[in-house]
């Protein structure tokens, strides 16, 4: 029986033992004293005992202020490692609870599972014809990104994974005493190794390091998890709709890592080529090992299971056999299945030796050494020939892995800023002496100029070197690489090309023109990304303009008349605040879907969600079910960013659970059934949201954009500068160098810095003012009705509850003391604190709760239990920031050690709050 408290106690005891052994008993005693005081401080807060709380806070501040750098580093490391261990224990407990629930409900399905969704559709009397249509349209894809929010090194991830495996073994069965001791010793050894390993990177990672980190999860989690999800859907259909076949190719994985150029000059064509090599290398090696293993398993005698004639012909066509395969044929006579699989494994072994990067960057015309059809065709012969019990076991999984991952592992998306693409095209046009002016301010003039160029049947003769600037040459090199990789290795290597900050139809046409000149336009999905509030508002008009152009409709024909549109949750929040951004996103989705429907274009919405609620995070199942009606239709694509990847996918069982919740929600949201669908927003609800959005926007703008001293305050009262120096991502923290402005800073460090300092401002600011205004107008009953019956508004308030509960104005006030101008800091902090109090009170009033997250007691308890351990890390961070900023020389040895401790606290706070940016 799994006991979470006992697990945390065991891991905490082992950590204490490691501290004593590897550091000193005195350090362990110091850490325990800080922990006890922090816990007593929180207990006093819960009781409302302000004198005791102030006393404990003062004593903690005195201890932390007296720490030397070595002690500060060790204490920060101890609390950080403690959170890593607690997270593992909580994950193991969740797995145990899921398994217990499945056993209890069997044979009924678990809620929010794929089986439960299909069963619910059958119960609603959804016809087999409707299900077949849904399966035909089903396309679900997760996209891994390298936004710098995952603060753990790959080395640390591997060690934590080993501890998690030991924990699972420990509680999977009732161990014998000697087994218990062996497990305990294994945990002790792994925690010791973790303690003695540097947590922070010594240098900023290269893009290829980030690629390898993403592939770590592909290799260790997704490779088995995605086929398992595909099998779940096939099984659910077989039970409820046996006449409907499970679709193929509906569940895939993509990545931005190595293809996302937006603001990252480190992503070049050469880096993207190397990324494709790493992707293919993983796929080839995983399939090679799987086929080698299958060859050993399928030692079927040709006499007992005669191979079909087509297989014999296939074998004969491949003679003379490779040396190793010929040896196997001589040794294992008349074992045609082993022989066939060995040949396939040998093909992949040969393919693993090709230098894909060099081939992509040269003018070589030699294609790939092996293609996916060469593997699938003989495997299908085997599936048809062998007994069903053999085909449905490992063989079927291997076939699914080939179908899902191909020889590319994940599809690589490409992304670039619209201004960079437009500048590059304009320079190329000038270099070619084409009289096309893309500079007019009028969007329609630019669009028509591009239409005229696209209408030309004869593309210009474009050399590899165009005689343009290095920046434009690099942009052109990307399109050349895209063309070569598609020609040599297949279109499946790539996802769409995404245009950041899309402002008009001309931005999309610019990409179409460059792709056409490079010879890679056919079938290329060109995706506008709408990020700011203004762009989200303009999105339906821009798409309507595009769809009205014959030249673009002709391109859509090559894309099966499908259009993907990406909406950004991060910049819209930074632009207008939490409530205004969410309402703008909701409206944009509904209107984009309407425009696509009017033009008979098949839409896929691509959700650029982050980890925190400020960046679109939150429970995925609920978020999908809260989408506007008729915007899903079986198609769903979303980013998995930064810390959400390790939080959701570090554990195979939890990864499966998260994935099945996504697919389940997509299935349910896609079937039109007014009686079963959640309530659609009525006029009164929409009017209320419009009013609140405007008021929340005004409140947010008044603080963030219209308060000049806010920038100075933010810079001093958060670890912004230190986050910019943190070696967790290859991308710069700001889009532009020079003077710091909110409009220039990236959304991730914006959210990260406010989260670290416990303001968590982007996740709630402005909400209280908006709700209070409607309550003052006598519309509390309307708001409560919206909360109870409208999934969108319910999710909006519940996600804000999470942000408010993780915020802490007491801790935030400590960061406020870092500002040199305390009079200024007092004014800004008072405004933030007042809105925090107002938001907390209003959310509780509308929800009817007496405590935040009262409707999620497990999450609420977890946050309450974590807070006493996060607080010391915040206090140490404040003290280290104070010392660092007081130094005359910010580059000396002491400064480097201070930064090292700050990085440790950043990691620890992120682990404790289970949020970064």
Per-residue pLDDT tens over the stretch 65-121: 999 999 999 999 999 999 889 889 988 888 888 888 999 999 999 999 999 999 999
CB 480, CB 518: distance < 8 Å? yes
pLDDT, position 729 = 55
- Burial class (CB within 10 angstroms; exposed 0-12, middle 13-18, buried 19+) of 495: buried
Non-local (6+) Cβ contacts of 754 within 8 A are 714, 718, 760, 761, 762
Which tokens go with 515? 């792709």
Non-local (6+) Cβ contacts of 885 within 8 A are 716, 818
pLDDT tens-place string over residues 382-408? 999 999 888 877 899 999 999 999 999
Residue 574 falls in the annotated catalytic set: yes
CA pair distance 128, 121, nearest whole angstrom: 10
Non-local (6+) Cβ contacts of 682 within 8 A are none
Unique residue bearing structure tokens 């709700």: 771
CB 431, CB 480: distance < 8 Å? no
CB 258, CB 207: distance < 8 Å? yes
Listed in sequence order, the DSSP H helices in 719-790 are 720-725, 747-756, 767-776, 780-789
Which tokens go with 619? 């429970």
pLDDT, position 200 = 66
Cross-strand pairs, 530: 567
CATH architecture of 415-649: Alpha-Beta Barrel (3.20)
CA pair distance 839, 845, nearest whole angstrom: 10
Catalytic one among 56, 96, 574, 806?
A: 574
Residue 147 falls in the annotated catalytic set: yes
Which tokens go with 44? 């006093």
- What backbone torsions phi and psi does residue 403 show, to the nearest 5 degrees? -65, -40
CA pair distance 602, 599, nearest whole angstrom: 9
Catalytic one among 56, 147, 159, 555?
A: 147
- Burial class (CB within 10 angstroms; exposed 0-12, middle 13-18, buried 19+) of 917: buried
Of 633, 733, 765, 843, residue with least CA distance to 135: 633
CA pair distance 127, 243, nearest whole angstrom: 11
Unique residue bearing structure tokens 């279109």: 491
814-819: long-range contacts at Cβ-Cβ below 8 A with a sequence spacing of 24 or more? 814/874, 814/875, 814/878, 815/717, 815/718, 815/757, 815/758, 815/759, 815/874, 815/878, 816/713, 816/717, 817/878, 818/716, 818/717, 818/878, 818/881, 818/882, 818/885, 819/712, 819/713, 819/716, 819/717
CB 277, CB 356: distance < 8 Å? yes
Which tokens go with 531? 């990020």
CA pair distance 437, 137, nearest whole angstrom: 41
Kindly write down the DSSP assignment for every residue of 97-124, as one continuous string: HHHHHHHHHTTSPPTTSHHHHHHHHHHT
Kindly write down the DSSP assignment for every residue of 131-166, as one continuous string: HHHHHHH-EEEEEEE--TT----HHHHHHHHHHHHH
Of 634, 609, 602, residue with least CA distance to 117: 634
Which tokens go with 590? 């509904």
Angle, CA of 719, 720 and 721, to the nearest 5°:
95
CB 632, CB 663: distance < 8 Å? no
- Burial class (CB within 10 angstroms; exposed 0-12, middle 13-18, buried 19+) of 98: middle
Of 241, 262, 297, residue with least CA distance to 117: 241
Provide CATH 3.20.20 ranges for the chain: 415-649
CA pair distance 503, 482, nearest whole angstrom: 24
Which residues of the chain carry a pLDDT beneath 50?
149, 613-617, 673-676, 733, 916-917
Buried (b) or exposed (e) across 550-584, using 16+ Cβ within 10 A? ebbeebbeebeeebbbbbbbbbbbbbbbbbbbbbb
- What backbone torsions phi and psi does residue 59 show, to the nearest 5 degrees? -65, -40
pLDDT, position 530 = 96
pLDDT, position 395 = 92
Unique residue bearing structure tokens 């499946």: 492
Kindly write down the DSSP assignment for every residue of 710-738, as one continuous string: HHHHHHHHS-HHHHHH-TT-SS-SBSSSS
- Share the mean pLDDT of the chain: 90
pLDDT, position 679 = 57
Which tokens go with 493? 């290597």
pTM of the model: 0.92
> 4-22 vs 69-105: helix axis angle to the nearest 10?
150
CB 395, CB 382: distance < 8 Å? yes
Q: Report how far Cα 128 is from the mean position of its chain's Cα atoms.
A: 34
pLDDT, position 740 = 62
pLDDT, position 5 = 86
Of 199, 292, 388, 88, residue with least CA distance to 902: 199
Cross-strand pairs, 608: 568
Kindly write down the DSSP assignment for every residue of 382-441, as one continuous string: HHHHS-HHHIIIIIHHHHHHHHHHTTTSSEEEEEEEHHHHHHHHHHHHHHTT-------S
CA pair distance 460, 463, nearest whole angstrom: 9
Angle, CA of 66, 68 and 74, to the nearest 5°:
115
């Amino acid at each position: 029986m799994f006991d979470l408290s006992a697990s945390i106690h065991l891991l905490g005891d082992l950590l204490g033992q490691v501290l004593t052994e590897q550091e000193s008993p005195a350090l362990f005693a110091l850490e325990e004293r800080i922990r006890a005081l922090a816990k007593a401080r929180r207990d006093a807060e819960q009781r409302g005992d302000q004198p005791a709380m102030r006393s404990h806070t003062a004593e903690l501040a005195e201890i932390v202020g007296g720490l030397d750098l070595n002690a500060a580093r060790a204490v920060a490391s101890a609390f950080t490692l403690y959170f890593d261990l607690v997270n593992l224990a909580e994950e193991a407990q969740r797995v145990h609870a899921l398994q217990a629930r499945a056993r209890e409900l069997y044979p009924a399905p678990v809620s929010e599972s794929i089986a439960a969704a299909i069963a619910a559709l059958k119960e609603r009397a959804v016809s087999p014809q409707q299900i077949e249509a849904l399966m035909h349209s089903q396309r679900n894809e997760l996209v891994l990104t390298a936004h710098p929010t995952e603060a753990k090194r790959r080395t640390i991830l591997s060690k934590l994974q080993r501890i998690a495996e030991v924990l699972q073994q420990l509680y999977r069965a009732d161990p014998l005493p000697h087994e218990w001791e062996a497990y305990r010793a294994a945990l002790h050894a792994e925690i010791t190794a973790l303690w003695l390993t540097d947590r922070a990177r010594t240098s900023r990672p290269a893009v290829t390091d980030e690629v390898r980190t993403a592939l770590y999860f592909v290799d260790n989690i997704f490779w088995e998890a995605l086929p398992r999800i595909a099998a779940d859907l096939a099984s659910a259909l077989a039970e409820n709709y046996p006449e409907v076949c499970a679709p193929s190719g509906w569940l895939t994985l993509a990545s931005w890592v190595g293809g996302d150029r937006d603001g990252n000059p480190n992503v070049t064509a050469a880096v993207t080529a190397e990324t494709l090599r790493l992707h293919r290398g993983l796929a080839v090696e995983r399939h090679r090992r799987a086929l080698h293993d299958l060859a050993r398993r399928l030692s079927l005698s040709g006499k007992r299971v005669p191979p079909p004639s087509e297989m014999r012909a296939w074998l004969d066509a491949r003679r003379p056999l490779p040396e190793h395969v010929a040896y196997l044929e001589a040794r294992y006579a008349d074992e045609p299945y082993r022989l066939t699989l060995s040949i396939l494994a040998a093909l992949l072994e040969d393919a693993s030796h090709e230098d894909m990067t060099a081939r992509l960057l040269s003018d070589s015309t030699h294609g790939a050494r092996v293609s996916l059809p060469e593997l699938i065709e003989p495997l299908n012969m085997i599936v048809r020939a062998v007994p069903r019990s053999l085909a449905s076991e490992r063989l079927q999984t291997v076939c699914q892995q080939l179908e899902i991952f191909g020889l590319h592992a994940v599809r690589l998306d490409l992304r670039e800023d619209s201004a960079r693409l437009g500048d590059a095209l304009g320079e190329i046009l000038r270099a070619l002496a084409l009289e096309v002016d893309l500079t007019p301010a009028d969007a329609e003039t630019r669009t028509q100029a591009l239409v005229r160029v696209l209408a030309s049947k004869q593309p210009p003769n474009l050399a590899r070197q165009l005689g343009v600037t290095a920046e434009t040459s690099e942009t052109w090199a990307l399109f050349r690489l895209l063309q070569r990789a598609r020609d040599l290795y297949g279109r499946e290597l790539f996802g769409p090309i995404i245009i950041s900050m899309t402002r008009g139809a001309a931005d999309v046409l610019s990409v179409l023109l460059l792709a056409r000149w490079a010879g890679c336009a056919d079938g290329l999905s060109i995706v506008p990304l709408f990020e700011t509030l203004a762009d989200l508002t303009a999105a339906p008009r821009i798409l309507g303009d595009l769809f009205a152009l014959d030249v673009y409709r002709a391109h859509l024909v090559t894309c099966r008349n499908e259009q993907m549109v990406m909406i950004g949750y991060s910049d819209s929040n930074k632009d207008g605040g939490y409530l205004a951004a969410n309402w703008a996103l909701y409206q944009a989705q509904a209107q984009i879907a309407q425009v696509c429907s009017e033009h008979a274009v098949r839409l896929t919405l691509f959700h650029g969600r982050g980890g925190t609620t400020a960046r679109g995070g939150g429970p995925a199942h609920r978020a999908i079910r809260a989408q506007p009606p008729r915007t899903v239709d079986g198609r769903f694509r979303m980013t998995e960013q930064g810390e959400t990847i390790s939080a959701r996918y570090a554990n195979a069982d939890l990864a499966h659970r998260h994935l099945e919740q996504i697919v389940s929600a997509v299935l349910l949201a896609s079937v039109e059934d007014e009686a079963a669908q959640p309530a659609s927003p009525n006029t009164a609800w929409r009017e209320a949201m419009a009013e609140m959005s405007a008021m929340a926007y005004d409140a947010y703008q008044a603080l963030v954009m219209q308060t000049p001293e806010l920038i100075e305050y933010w810079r001093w009262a958060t670890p912004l500068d230190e986050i910019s120096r943190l070696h967790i991502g290859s991308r710069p923290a700001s889009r532009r160098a020079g003077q710091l402005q909110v409009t220039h800073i990236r959304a991730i460090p914006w959210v990260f810095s406010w989260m670290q300092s416990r303001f968590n401002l982007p996740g709630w600011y402005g909400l209280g003012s908006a709700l209070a205004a409607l309550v003052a107008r006598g519309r509390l009953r309307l708001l409560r009705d919206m909360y109870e019956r409208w999934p969108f508004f319910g999710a909006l308030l519940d996600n804000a509850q999470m942000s408010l509960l993780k915020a802490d104005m007491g801790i935030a006030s400590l960061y406020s003391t870092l500002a040199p101008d305390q009079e200024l800091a007092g004014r800004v902090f008072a405004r933030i604190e007042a809105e925090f109090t107002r938001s907390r009170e209003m959310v509780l009033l509308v929800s009817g709760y007496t405590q935040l997250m009262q409707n999620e007691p497990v999450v609420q308890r977890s946050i309450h239990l974590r807070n006493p351990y996060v607080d010391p890390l915040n206090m140490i961070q404040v003290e280290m920031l104070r010392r660092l900023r007081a130094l005359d020389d910010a580059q000396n040895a002491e400064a480097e050690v201070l930064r090292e401790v700050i990085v440790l606290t950043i990691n620890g706070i992120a682990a404790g709050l289970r949020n970064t940016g």
